[in-house]
Amino acid sequence: MSPSAVSQLSPIHAAPVQTTESAPESYLLDRDLNTALPYVVGSNGSYILLEDGREIFDACGGAAVTCIGHGNTEGREAINKQGDQAAYVHSMFFKTYSTESLAEELITSTGKKLAKVFIICSGMFLKIYYLDV
């Protein structure tokens, strides 16, 4: 991936570039309350595009997160495809093939040395049972 590839991002990737002379106070609780962060308006492969036009090579994947790079269309299409079927159902009443398939592939990847997967996507929910031991 060459840096120039990012410059040719499709309009879906890149929002209109707006430059602000002095950054206004953020409403978001940023990581550091006293430092203004640059806005990202595009990304592709290993590159992140800033609104001032700079292209940053992401050598750490954020915190070792973006393992297949940025802007992968297959990843986004998979989200949309599942979203067309059902974006959310409650796990106490229903399940979807995407969650079961993910669990199956993860267990297969261990050589079936582990048995089941618990998938977490945040949100605390209290379910009350009493365990008699």
Partner 1 sequence: MLGYVPQNLLSRCLTGTHHQLGSEATEATMKLGRQYYMEVGQPQRVNFIAREHSYHGTTLGALSMSGHVGRRSLYIPLLSDYIHRVSACNSYRQRHIGESDTAFVNRKAAELDQKFRDLGPNTVIGFMCEPISGATLGCVPYVPGYLAAMKAVCTKYGALFILDEIMCGMGRSGTLHAWQAEHSDEPGHDCVPDLQTLGKGLGGGYEPVAAVLIGYKIVNALKSGSGSFLHGQTYQSHPTTAAAALAVLRIIKKENLLENVRKQGAYLSSLLYKKLDSHPYVGDIRGMGLFWAIEFVKDKKSKEPFDPKLNVANRIHETAVSKKWSMSVYPCQGTADGIRGDHIIIAPAYNITSGDVELIATTIEGVIKEVFDTLAKETADQQNGSVRNGV
37 binds partner 1 (CB under 8 A): no
Residue 95: half-sphere exposure toward Cβ, Cα within 13 Å: 9
Question: Of residues 2-21, which lie at the interface with partner 1 (CB under 8 A)?
Answer: none
Question: Of residues 44-63, which lie at the interface with partner 1 (CB under 8 A)?
Answer: 45-46, 48, 54-63
Number of chain residues interacting with partner 1 (CB under 8 A): 73
Q: Stretches 7-15, 18-26, 66-74: which one binds partner 1 (CB under 8 A)?
A: 66-74
Question: Are residues 70 and 42 in contact, defined by beta-carbon separation less than 8 angstroms?
Answer: no
Question: Of residues 75-104, which lie at the interface with partner 1 (CB under 8 A)?
Answer: 75-79, 81-83, 85-92, 95-96, 98-99, 101-102
If we measure between CA atoms, which residue out of 87, 50, 47, 104 comes closest to residue 70?
A: 47
Q: Stretches 7-15, 18-26, 106-114: which one binds partner 1 (CB under 8 A)?
A: 106-114
E strand or H helix that includes residue 40 = strand 40-44
CA distance 59 to 89: 37
Question: Are residues 54 and 6 in contact, defined by beta-carbon separation less than 8 angstroms?
Answer: no
Indicate the residue among 20 and 124 with the shorter CB distance to partner 1: 124
